[in-house]
Amino acid sequence: MTRRVSPFLTSRWTRLGLVIVIGLAGGYLGLLGGGRYVTPVGPTDVQLTLHPSLHGGTTLKLPPLGSLRLDTHEGPVSLEARLTDLRPDQAKKLIEDDTEIDRLTDRIAGQIRHGLVELFVRAALIALAASFVASLILFRSWRRALLGMTSAAVGLVAISLLSWTTFNPQSIAEPRYTGLLANAPQIVGNAQSIVERFSAYRAQLARLVGNVSELYTTTSTLPTYEPDPSTIRVLDVSDIHLNPAAWNVIKSVSTQFKADLIIDSGDLMDHGSKAEDKFADSISDLKVPYVYVRGNHDSMETQKAVDRQKNAIVLDDETREVEGLRIYGVGDPRFTPDKSTRDDFVGADQLRAEGQRYAAKLRASGTTPDIVVTHDPTEGEAFSGVTPLILAGHTHTRSTKLLPTGTRLFVQGSTGGAGLRGLEHEQPTPIELSVLYFSRATHRLQGWDDLRLGGLGLTSAQIERHLEPDPDRTIRP
């Protein structure tokens, strides 16, 4: 029995429509597949890539610092520019010689323009070829293959016209930052002047390349330590003090540095009140284990609010193994959010005695933790000789020292910029946090990166690399 084919499917207009659809689809896929080109921009190499998009736009990626997005145009294709390489000799020359910036200003606009032209020409040729081949394979007709390629060409013209007519030069004045760049928008300099004057635009492009070159050159001179896949990465934070901006920083750094877990030395809140408990809900958004000890601004209700988070691990005189590390923690014995609740009877001597009591208990248990976490370093020092590393906070000033027993005391600054207290001084308290690198084989600290971001109202950013001089040293009781 012969099956009848619908007249609609065999009609001339239907076949024509199919040819056009296949040509457009093949051309679009070819455009994306061929839309990749690496171009030199000053002392850097930048990879330009076309991506499918509902809203167009341009993204500049500067790994591991983050990215910035510009709403440059509308359309089904977005542009990504990723810095892939830096030539250190040229970058050093650029930083040391101011006249190089002037020369770079004359070259950089031409380099970017050349790279974009190369990208679009290559992508267009591959798009046309892809539409022709796809149509030829499916319809086995040279005429229809040419028709499919023609429809792709019309699609390319339409995309180009849409991008051109919706081009927004003011977008460079309104970038959206993600990653660490969210806290350092000054990397693009005075963006408003870029919009107002083309000559200034070229100069700012040169300045952007210069600033990025300096960042990368600086990081290339950090002491050598290359974390391998077996390295355990711990993000150390403390004294967030109810600052919601801290969660953005923590999430960005955790993602950029691929942290395996986060350790919080306390003072998550300001007053430890029930109204503040909801602030702890952001912990569950971090997607990695969050180890926490109570600070003197945190109440027992605060501790319970943290414990309710699915990824939180609250330590209060107990040891847990997290991502292969044995971590002991104890909450601060005080609750002193303000003068009306200040526990004046708990001074330095009492804190030290409290720490010694817990340290003796830990020794008696025969447990040797890889890390001990307390809120106040005064209490933390009592664990000297019990563990290779003590993490603390409380002082809002980062510091580290080797104790006579070989134990390292690491005091974190304030990851929340001391909250509103950060405005009490002439200079805002900086936001500080660190990425600690541990050997998975020995569980010993190998090195760490200290991150320091300008406090409220400031936009400075600094990263310092430190190496542990003798990671496998003997710890003496």
Q: What is the pLDDT along the chain (477 residues), one digit of tens a residue?
A: 445 544 544 567 777 788 788 878 887 888 888 888 898 887 778 889 998 888 888 888 876 556 777 888 898 899 998 887 777 677 666 656 656 656 666 677 778 888 889 989 998 899 889 889 988 888 788 888 888 888 888 988 998 898 888 888 766 655 666 655 554 444 334 334 333 443 444 444 444 445 545 544 544 444 545 667 789 999 999 999 988 888 988 988 888 888 999 999 999 998 888 889 999 999 999 999 999 999 999 999 999 999 999 999 999 999 999 999 999 999 999 998 764 444 444 678 899 999 999 999 999 999 899 999 999 999 999 999 999 999 999 999 999 999 999 999 999 999 988 555 444 444 567 889 999 999 999 999 999 989 887 644 444 567 788 889 999 999 998
Q: Which domain holds residue 296?
A: 232-467
Report the distance separating Cα 137 and Cα 19, nearest Å.
11
Report the distance separating Cα 165 and Cα 85, nearest Å.
33
User: What per-residue confidence (pLDDT) applies to 286?
Assistant: 95
User: What per-residue confidence (pLDDT) applies to 92?
Assistant: 64
Q: Is the pTM of this model over 0.85?
A: no
Backbone angles phi, psi at 404, to 5 degrees: -55, -25
| 425: enclosing H helix or E strand | none
Report the distance separating Cα 375 and Cα 383, nearest Å.
13
Q: Say if 224 falls within a structural domain.
A: no
103 and 54 share one domain: yes
Backbone angles phi, psi at 93, to 5 degrees: -65, -40
356 and 454 share one domain: yes
250 and 205 share one domain: no
Cα-Cα-Cα-Cα dihedral sign, residues 190, 457, 284, 240:
positive
Cα-Cα-Cα-Cα dihedral sign, residues 229, 310, 415, 268:
negative
94 and 169 share one domain: yes
Report the distance separating Cα 83 and Cα 45, nearest Å.
6
154 and 263 share one domain: no
| Cβ(291)–Cβ(268) below 8 Å | no
- Which residue, of 169, 192, 218, is where some domain finishes? 218
Report the distance separating Cα 361 and Cα 438, nearest Å.
26
User: What per-residue confidence (pLDDT) applies to 64?
Assistant: 57
Question: Do strands 445-453 and 431-438 pair parallel, antiparallel, or not at all (unpaired)?
Answer: antiparallel
39, two tokens = 């171009």
| Cβ(307)–Cβ(269) below 8 Å | no
Closest CA to 381 of 358, 413, 414: 358
Region of residue 295 (phi > 0: left; psi between -120 and 50: alpha; otherwise: beta): beta
Question: Do strands 77-86 and 58-62 pair parallel, antiparallel, or not at all (unpaired)?
Answer: parallel
Whole-angstrom CA distances from 67 to 63, 115, 178, 388 are 8, 20, 5, 37
- Which residue, of 166, 185, 218, is where some domain finishes? 218
User: What per-residue confidence (pLDDT) applies to 185?
Assistant: 41
Count of the separate structural domains present in the chain: 2
311 and 202 share one domain: no
| CA atoms in the 13 A half-sphere facing the CB of 164 | 6
User: What per-residue confidence (pLDDT) applies to 184?
Assistant: 44
Q: Say if 170 falls within a structural domain.
A: yes
- Which residue, of 218, 242, 262, is where some domain finishes? 218
190, two tokens = 């005075």
User: Which residue in the block uniquely carries the two structure tokens 């209060």?
Assistant: 316
287 and 203 share one domain: no
Closest CA to 391 of 438, 328, 473: 328
Q: 361 - beta bridge partners?
A: none
